[in-house]
Amino acid sequence: MTMIFGIALPALLGQLLIGFINGSFYALLSLGLAVIFGLLRVINFAHGAQYMLGAFTAYLLLVHTGIGFWPALVVAPLIVAAISALIERTMLSRLYDLDHLYGLLFTFGLALIIEGTFRWYYGAAGQPYATPQLLSGGTNLGFMFLPNYRGFVVVASIVICLAVWLLIEKTRLGAYLRAATENPQLVQAFGVNVPLLLTLTYALGAGLAGLAGVLAAPIYQVSPLMGSNLIIIVFAVVVIGGMGSIGGAIITGYVLGILEGLTKVFYPEASNIVVFVIMAIVLMLRPAGLFGKEI
């Protein structure tokens, strides 16, 4: 059997694939963060809570209305987006003129409130959410047993990331958005409703987090803590990719997922710090991140 650094090749391939699957979640989450930061200049600390809200919305829809996974995949992110739009309109938008720190503090407090509320009602142990019937079971790839659902997550994540990137970089709406953040007064003078654009952007970012939450529900426990476990890593991903760089966030998400996966094979104890070590190195060599623009 072929060995690489003392690890059998099939095992290594398996770990690479798993890293890629985890990278899909990082990419989805950091994408939403990058959209919000890049266009609104808000450091959205509520992103983990919005991810958790997505998972819980799917769970609550299933339990209380019988709405299954597939409809929830569309409905739950829309609900999260709507709630977030409301929050942006009534509260967050008042902070745009102040220092970035206020937005950070506001969203951080918001996250604590949302998570605390859910913990109060649902406890910490989490709720189960079954894998959709269509995707249960797995496929033997020869080098590993791939659960079908995880395969689906990879495909879904790539499609979504690509779609969002195209939306912002290649469409007219995306052009408005980018212009509105460069020079809001000028864009407003052209007759574009800038506040509405910003609300939509925040809702889009939050909706992406919600979507990642729904995708995560069948894999992880639907737990009030699920977001806070992930958010710090996702922030590191965004920083490494370059704050505000949407393409950078996507690519970095996948790459770091794979690197973390490899760490779990060679030195598992370090698997939760490897991302931060990389972040420190990147910040020393390229303070604006790998894909960020130096200001």
Instruction: Point out which residues bind other proteins (CB under 8 A).
Output: 8, 11, 14-15, 18-19, 21-22, 116, 119-120, 123-128, 130-131, 138, 144-145, 147, 149-150, 219-221, 223, 225-226, 229-230, 261, 264-265, 268-269, 271-273
Instruction: Give the three-class secondary structure for 224.
Output: coil
- Where does 115-174 show beta strands of DSSP type E? 138-140, 145-147
Q: Which helix (H) or strand (E) holds 8?
A: strand 7-8
Question: Is 30:251 a contact under the CB 8 Å cutoff?
Answer: no
Q: From the CB of 109, what's the least distance to other proteins, in Å?
A: 16
Q: From the CB of 241, what's the least distance to other proteins, in Å?
A: 19
**Closer to other proteins at the Cβ: 18 or 92?**
18
Other residues' Cβ atoms within 10 Å of the Cβ of residue 269: 8
Pairing of strands 145-147, 138-140: antiparallel
**Closer to other proteins at the Cβ: 11 or 78?**
11
Q: What is the C-alpha separation between 42 and 293, in angstroms, rounded?
A: 17
Q: Which helix (H) or strand (E) holds 186?
A: helix 184-189
- Cα-Cα-Cα-Cα dihedral sign, residues 109, 211, 31, 240: positive
Q: What is the C-alpha separation between 83 and 98, in angstroms, rounded?
A: 23
**Closer to other proteins at the Cβ: 199 or 263?**
263
**Closer to other proteins at the Cβ: 151 or 247?**
151
Q: From the CB of 59, what's the least distance to other proteins, in Å?
A: 11
Residues facing 147 on adjacent strands: 138
Q: From the CB of 15, what's the least distance to other proteins, in Å?
A: 6
**Closer to other proteins at the Cβ: 123 or 287?**
123
Q: From the CB of 73, what's the least distance to other proteins, in Å?
A: 19
Q: What is the C-alpha separation between 125 and 123, in angstroms, rounded?
A: 6
Q: From the CB of 53, what's the least distance to other proteins, in Å?
A: 17
**Closer to other proteins at the Cβ: 3 or 163?**
3
